[in-house]
Amino acid sequence: MVSHPAGYAPDLEKYLKTLKGQQLDTSVESLISLLKRRQIKGSEPCAVATAHILLQVVARSKWHDVDGLIDNISRIGRRLVEAQPKELVIANIVRRVLGLIRDEAAEDRNEGASGTPSEAQMTPTDTVHPDPKWPTSTPTKQDSVIDQVPNSPKPVLQSRPTGLSSYSSVNVPKTLFHLLSVSGPNDAESVLHGSPFGNSGTSTPSWRGHSAQVHSLRSEVIDGIEEIKDEISQVDDQIAALAEVQIHPGDYVLIHQPSATVERFILRAALKRKFTVLIATEPPRKQSSEVQHTSFRKKLAAAGITVINIMNGGLMAYMSRVDKVIIGAHAVVANGGVVADAGAAAVARAAKEQGNAVIVLSGVYKLSPENPFNEESLIEWGDSSSFVGFEDGAMVSGVEIRTAITEIVPPELIDTYITNLGTHSSDHLSSLIADHYKQEDVDFHLWNEGER
């Protein structure tokens, strides 16, 4: 027998491996149990898993028209949201995919009516690249132009993933807007590329129920989801690219329980700047020799950055020295409130009292159009054993223990939001939301269940 260092317990990585070999239903169910058992947790893994499973739904579930697809996605999306309602990113990704489908469908309808209006929408990012940048796909495109006259636009559409996967990070901000934005300067090129679409549109008078059209929609949407997946994977890099602007030499930067995003951000800044990092952590329950965030500290030390570990309790004493506070977000709600690790709100409030800047790092996919009517409903409560050991019999039977995993940092405590699209103030968030979600999907949440 071969040894398996990874063990048997399922996690995100193993789950993604099983996706291909399994029935769709099985995959959905197993993701739901993994979410419920909290074996996939944290905003990024949840988002990745959701994107993957929705891609499978689009590719493999049965649907004959747009409504059927939207129905499938909402049904499965809703079950995922129910499985872990505290992770807002799941609903975000579902909304993004729904928006994607609506766009593609609207496009196809428009094509059916008249070819022109959709063109700019369709290809804003593809056209940014000059052809030499992706030589492999060029021949395909040319082929497709030849093919498509007697056929459907399928080959053209399938050439897209190659193009998309080769995006450099520079172009990604564009891709995020691509659903809605009409990019003026590219118009000339887009017309050039747009003509085949126009042709194909006219060549198929009625696409509803037409299997070729379904096929094209399918691959369009799959490409869109692949794009979302790429976006998620690149978020940390893109946010980190903005680090040098934010962190200045000699700064004292306080970070609270650094997430991967925050670590990347700080490390990137450390490449160019000399500053001091203070890591605020929860006091460990057990006295262990292991210092928290050891590997991160080592990397920082290697970069020549001074690191100070402080427990949450000693925070106020340091706050007067601190210049900036950086918080990693689990999610950002519509009013600018941030769902972050428990303890972050106290840090933010302390910083506000001292007049220090509070910076929130969050991928755009974490930005939720929801506005919580009840903040309590967003707080995830965890395992009692984080603060009290189960072996302490008297505490177990005599004390009620509540452990919040997340809490909400009110918007008024936050100065700056840094996303993969840039730096924003809280006023700007609503336009970001409008850019990324369709109005009809904003209402997509758990409480829709009753109406259905």
Give the x-and-dash track for 18-57 against another protein (CB under 8 A): x-xx-x-xx--xx--x--xxxx------------------
- Taking alpha carbons only, the member of 375, 362, 327 closest to residue 433 is 362
How many residues bind to another protein according to rule CB under 8 A?
53
Does residue 447 bind another protein (CB under 8 A)? no
In the set 66, 83, 235, 329, which binds another protein (CB under 8 A)? Answer: 83
The Cα 450–Cα 85 span in angstroms is 15
Q: Which residue in 151, 204, 309, 385 binds another protein (CB under 8 A)?
A: 385
Distances (CA, A) of 86 to 347, 376, 407: 22, 10, 11
Q: Which is nearer to another protein, 184 or 393 (CB)?
A: 393
For residue 65, state whether it binds another protein (rule: CB under 8 A).
Answer: no
Q: What is the smallest separation between the CB atom of 339 and another protein, expressed in angstroms?
A: 16
CA distances from 221 to 26, 175, 218 (A): 22, 14, 5
Nearest-approach distance from CB 383 to another protein, in angstroms: 4
Stretch of 168-176, 247-255, 331-339, 382-390 lying at the interface with another protein (CB under 8 A)? 382-390
Contact indicator for 81, 446 with CB cutoff of 8 Å: yes
Q: Which of these, 270, 272, 322, 334, lies nearest to 298 by C-alpha position?
A: 270
The answer to whether 8 contacts another protein (rule: CB under 8 A) is yes
Reference 305, options 315, 297, 317, 313; nearest CA is: 297
Residues between 352 and 381 that touch another protein (CB under 8 A): 376-377, 381
Q: How far is the CB of 34 from another protein (least distance, A)?
A: 9
Closer to another protein by CB, 189 or 282: give it: 282
Residue 136 contacts another protein per CB under 8 A: yes
Picking from 71, 17, 9, the residue whose alpha carbon sits closest to that of residue 49 is 17
3 interacts with another protein by CB under 8 A: yes
Told to check if 225 binds another protein by CB under 8 A, we report no
| Nearest to another protein of 20, 427 (CB atom) | 20
Axis-axis angle for helices 43-60, 211-241 (nearest 10) = 160
Burial 7-38 (b: 16+ CB within 10 A, else e): eeeeebeebbeebeeeebeebbebbbebbeee
Place of tokens 């129905």: 71
Dihedral angle sign, alpha carbons of residues 230, 233, 235, 241: negative
Pairwise CA distance, residues 319 & 368, whole Å: 30
Q: Which of 50, 56, 123, 140 binds another protein (CB under 8 A)?
A: 140
DSSP class of residue 201 equals H
**In terms of CB distance, is 230 or 323 closer to another protein?**
230
Site for another protein in 272-301 (CB under 8 A): 286
Residues in Cβ contact with 439 at an 8 Å cutoff, skipping those fewer than 6 apart: none
From candidates 71, 131, 353, 392, binder to another protein by CB under 8 A: 392
- Euclidean distance between the first and the last CA atom of the chain, given in angstroms as a whole number: 50
Question: Minimum CB separation from another protein for residue 367, in Å?
Answer: 24
| Residue of 290, 400, 427, 451 interacting with another protein (CB under 8 A) | 400
- Picking from 210, 223, 220, 224, the residue whose alpha carbon sits closest to that of residue 65 is 210
Structural tokens at position 245: 């602007």
Three-state DSSP at 360 gives strand
Q: Give yes or no for residue 188 binding another protein (CB under 8 A).
A: no
CB of 302 to another protein, least distance (A): 30
Q: Measured from the CB atom, is 7 or 184 closer to another protein?
A: 7
**Residue reference for tokens 């409480």:** 447
Between the CA of residue 343 and those of 182, 210, 297, 348, what are the distances in Å?
Answer: 42, 55, 21, 9
Nearer to another protein by Cβ, of 290 and 400: the residue is 400
Tell which one of 271, 390, 412, 448 touches another protein (CB under 8 A). Answer: 390
Asked if 114 touches another protein (CB under 8 A), the answer is: no
User: In whole angstroms, what is the distance from residue 48 CA to residue 19 CA?
Assistant: 13
Q: 57 or 242: whose CB is closer to another protein?
A: 57
Q: Which stretch binds another protein (CB under 8 A): 98-106, 316-324, 353-361, 395-403?
A: 395-403
Contact flag: residue 135 with another protein (CB under 8 A): no
Residues that bind another protein (CB under 8 A): 1-5, 7-10, 14, 17-18, 20-21, 23, 25-26, 29-30, 33, 36-39, 82-83, 136, 140, 155, 158-159, 161-162, 286, 376-377, 381-385, 389-394, 396-397, 400-403
